[in-house]
Amino acid sequence: MTVHIYNTLTRKKDPFTSIETGKVKMYVCGMTVYSDAHIGHARTYVAFDVIRRYFEYKGYTVFYVQNITDVDDKIIAAAHKQGVDPLVYSQRFTDRCLTDLDTLGVQRADLYPKASEAIPEMIQMIEQIIQNGYGYVADGDVYFSVESFSDYGKLSGQNIAEMKKGARIEPGEQKRNPLDFALWKKAKPGEPVWSSPWGPGRPGWHIECSAMSCSILGPTFDIHGGGMDLQFPHHENEVAQAEAATGQQFARCWMHIGLLTINGEKMSKSIGNIINIKDLLQSWDAEVLRMFFAQAHYRSPPDFSEKALADVEKGRERLYRVKERLQEHAKAISPQNPSLAMLQETEKKYLTTIKEFQEEFEAAMDDDFNTPKAFASLFEFVNKSNRFFEQHPTPNPELCRHALGVYLKIGLVLTVFQPQTHTPLKKESEVTSVLQELLRSYGTIIDSPTMDALLQALLEARQDARKKKDYKTADDIRKKLESLGFEIQDTAHGSVWRKK
């Protein structure tokens, strides 16, 4: 099946065909680097990460470009406040912001072009725009003439006449039309400056994306995306600039990510409810956050709350339990039944379940990356697997290896089952020493105190207590282990522990 994507340009789900067979070229508007990355950024980049992963799952080679805006009013203002050179300041935050996303476990884009390093490309594009009759110079500034570009408004569904009503010209600007926007801004004292055919100055905000995407991906490429808030004016202006300059269609498909709210409110500086990724990862696992975002449909605005994260975290537990059970069974050696060809009836049914799971997942994702539905198929597989284990306590290992393979592959597309990207709250050595202390209090000392060995010994101590019907002690050990983050389960085959 082909992927269908809701295209902002056409306002419907279009079947996706890439320009170059087997290759997806996508450009996503990146961060303006003047403070740490926040969970709004996380929402958008996790969404595109999943989209990218699914394309790769489908066998595409994805070339993912995400720009860094390092020349901008806010950066300049923030840098001046601290008495730092704006470009030095933005360099510092470029690293910090990308590291924040790394910590979250978002896969890196292939390229992070910076505005400050693409000035020649921008100047060239502006010249082309002027030459084609869509831009004009006014006293060192260069503006894009909105009225001369007949397609203006096609992305955001706006029309110029309506927009003109509310628009204002800022004092000092020499626009012919209030909707015209700056391609190049005349130099002001204290701001980063580059020389240009129109005198010293710096680029306007919108031109960097048009220039960098066209120079890296070509005048026409597959997908351009960003947060919903960028649809107008940023993306509208990008289309106008690029198409005015090249005369060719710009991005073929536009994708916009629904903006995050926090406890029902818009996240903004004025409300003061901005949450940084760094801060949240102090108390929440990166995977829980990723899953929270991945579970929301990319075009809907998810509402962030501690309760929502807690719900996700519990659901994740069930995902992991099945993963662990499959791993256990996959490990088993069974010389009698080594191949899939010798399955029993219930096992054959489970084989069908695996196949259906995969088909449902793909159908969901092919339909405009419907991740809520994809997660539903994942959880359905969890339920069916549990039911299968119930009926079939010692399943064919080969079958389980197959199931595990599919399960992990799909999970990974949804950003689950990814190796931990940041240090867990309690370091293992700390936990080990606490366990050792605990074991000693029950009168046992072991030679090689690894965490596993200590836990095993504690479980044995607990087992002894249970045999003697000393449930007080048994419950005590369990409680203490639970407070250290271990879950203890008494099963028919004895007690087992797992990390929560």
Which range of residues in 112-120, 131-139, 212-220, 469-477 is near RNA by CB under 7 A?
469-477
Beta bridge partners of 225: 28, 255
| DSSP per-residue letters across 15-45 | EP--SSTTEEEEEE---B-SS--BHHHHHHH
Which range of residues in 339-347, 420-428, 449-457, 484-492 is near RNA by CB under 7 A?
484-492
At residue 206, the 3 state secondary structure works out as coil
Distance of CA 323 to CAs 221, 310, 387, 388, 414, Å?
Answer: 39, 20, 14, 14, 15
Distance between CA atoms of 93 and 96, rounded to whole angstroms? Answer: 5
CB of 477 vs RNA, minimal distance in Å: 9
CB of 494 vs RNA, minimal distance in Å: 11
* By the rule CB under 7 A, 370 interacts with RNA: yes
CB of 342 vs RNA, minimal distance in Å: 25
Residues 6+ apart with CB under 8 A from 285: 313
Distance of CA 441 to CAs 311, 393, 454, 474, Å?
Answer: 36, 37, 13, 14
Which range of residues in 115-123, 164-172, 214-222, 437-445 is near RNA by CB under 7 A?
164-172
Residue from 80, 318, 392, 422 binding RNA (CB under 7 A): 318
* By the rule CB under 7 A, 375 interacts with RNA: yes
Residue from 7, 27, 41, 458 binding RNA (CB under 7 A): 41
Residue from 136, 254, 361, 389 binding RNA (CB under 7 A): 389
The 10 Å Cβ neighbour count of residue 268 is 11
* By the rule CB under 7 A, 303 interacts with RNA: yes
* By the rule CB under 7 A, 158 interacts with RNA: yes
CB of 213 vs RNA, minimal distance in Å: 14
# chain residues binding RNA, by CB under 7 A: 80
Amino acid at 256: H
Sheet holding 141-144, edge to edge: 135-138, 141-144, 181-186, 201-203
The 10 Å Cβ neighbour count of residue 170 is 7
CB of 30 vs RNA, minimal distance in Å: 6
Residue from 26, 76, 115, 260 binding RNA (CB under 7 A): 260
Residue from 272, 283, 345, 390 binding RNA (CB under 7 A): 390
Q: Which residues from 320-339 bind RNA, rule CB under 7 A?
A: 321
* By the rule CB under 7 A, 373 interacts with RNA: yes
Residue from 346, 386, 420, 441 binding RNA (CB under 7 A): 386
Distance of CA 376 to CAs 131, 360, 364, 371, 433, Å?
Answer: 54, 9, 9, 8, 41
Distance between CA atoms of 239 and 249, rounded to whole angstroms? Answer: 8
* By the rule CB under 7 A, 297 interacts with RNA: yes
Amino acid at 194: W
Which range of residues in 54-62, 101-109, 293-301, 406-414 is near RNA by CB under 7 A?
293-301
* Tokens linked to 289: 């956050």
- Is omega for the bond preceding 233 within 30 degrees of 0, making it cis? yes
Q: Which residues from 171-230 bind RNA, rule CB under 7 A?
A: 205, 226-230
Distance between CA atoms of 208 and 210, rounded to whole angstroms? Answer: 6
Residue 62-91 contact track with RNA, rule CB under 7 A, x = bound: -------x---xx-----------------
For RNA, the closer of residues 427 and 472 by Cβ is 472
Residue from 58, 185, 186, 234 binding RNA (CB under 7 A): 234
